Amino acid sequence: MKIRHPEKIKNPINPIKKKPSWIRSKITNSQNFFLTKTILNENNLHTVCQEANCPNITDCWSKRHATFMIMGDTCTRACAFCDVKTGKPNPIDIFEPIKIAQATKKLNLKHVVVTSVDRDDLKDGGAHHFCNVINEIRKLNKGTTIEVLTPDFLRKGNSYKKVVNSNPDVFNHNIETVPSLYLKVRPGSRYFASLDLLKSVKKINKKIFTKSGIMLGLGESKDEILQVMDDLISANVDFLTIGQYLQPSVKHYPLQRYVHPDEFEELKIIAESKGFLIVASSPLTRSSYHADEDFKKMKNLRDGQLKCHQLQ
């Protein structure tokens, strides 16, 4: 009989490092927080805030902001950094677009963010469903701007064009990490396919803002981060988000280090100098965190640039 060493039983695979003092989140309005939760539960809707265990959920929900996650709560991929469950998804809820449009109205959202799990089981990767959601939101919420955070639609041909042709105000797809870590961190995706998606969106419709994000603390070097910035600028990406990777559990990809806020500020300055319209860079920065405020800034900056060109 083989005897298991007691220390090996006690020690987790990837121990979670204690969070530093600068990573904190709090409820600013508990009444709004529970109102947001009630509206989402009543409509049986999923949010990335809950499914991905976002550290900003209390702050966002306290402001009645939520990022809708469509096509279920089960992803067909198994990214090593993500807390969304993996497995065989349920059939798509055909009433989901209407439910999201109604929830958007109840929450009085002026800027709504819609993301999804990866649905590699679907012929178009869920692109048609994204279109339905966008269309239904617009029917009930005339003045609301729409931001989509999409999968990469890998091996789905031109299906992504359906989403682009639905004219979201912002098309976001996260690059997530540096190329050298892709096989370990994001094995079901391909770095250059994600870059090509972002570049293609801009080619089809220059008026759509494009956006992407990267996590730090996975073992990337500074030179690699700067190269990702250059690649995204070459793909004409307007908005970059840089945030801290927070290891969800002992079974997820091991956190290498917590990046100090000063480093995030330095990267923000560098990214802005490279030409991004907007850069959000901090330990708690996430793709949809303060997305409404950042969209206004981005639009004002571009409008200002257009006026300058017209005057010249």
Say how many domains are in the chain.
1
Does pLDDT of 304 surpass 60?
yes
Q: Domain containing 249 — which CATH number?
A: 3.20.20.70
pLDDT of residue 27: 55
Express as a percent the part of the chain with pLDDT over 70.
87
**What is the mean predicted confidence (pLDDT) over 12-35?**
76
**What is the spatial distance between Cα 151 and Cα 83, in angstroms, rounded to a whole number?**
16
Q: Is residue 6 part of a domain?
A: no
pLDDT of residue 74: 95
Provide the CA 248 distance to its chain's centre, in angstroms: 16
Q: Is residue 165 part of a domain?
A: yes
Half-sphere exposure of 273 (CA within 13 A, CB side): 7
Q: Is residue 264 part of a domain?
A: yes
Q: What is the mean pLDDT of the chain?
A: 88
Q: Is residue 67 part of a domain?
A: yes
pLDDT of residue 1: 42
Q: Is residue 14 part of a domain?
A: no
Does pLDDT of 265 surpass 80?
yes
**What is the mean predicted confidence (pLDDT) over 18-26?**
81
- On the 0-12 / 13-18 / 19+ scale of CB atoms within 10 A, 311 is exposed
* Cβ-contact 216, 242 below 8 angstroms: yes
Q: Of 51, 65, 205, nearest to 144 (Cα)?
A: 65
pLDDT of residue 287: 82
pLDDT of residue 2: 44
Cβ atoms within 10 Å, residue 131: 19
* Alpha helices (H) in the chain, listed in sequence order: 6-10, 30-42, 48-51, 57-62, 96-106, 127-140, 160-165, 182-185, 191-204, 222-234, 261-274, 291-311
Range of the domain at 234: 25-311
Does pLDDT of 7 surpass 80?
no
Q: Which is more confident, 3 or 172?
A: 172
Does pLDDT of 308 surpass 90?
no
Does pLDDT of 4 surpass 60?
no
Tokens of residue 242, six digits: 């840089």
Tokens of residue 25, six digits: 């989140």
Q: Is residue 209 part of a domain?
A: yes
Residues in the chain: 312
Q: Is residue 60 part of a domain?
A: yes
Q: Which is more confident, 230 or 42?
A: 230
Q: Is residue 16 part of a domain?
A: no
Q: Of 153, 147, 242, 135, nearest to 200 (Cα)?
A: 153
Q: Dihedrals φ, ψ of 46, to 5°?
A: -100, 150
SS3 114: strand
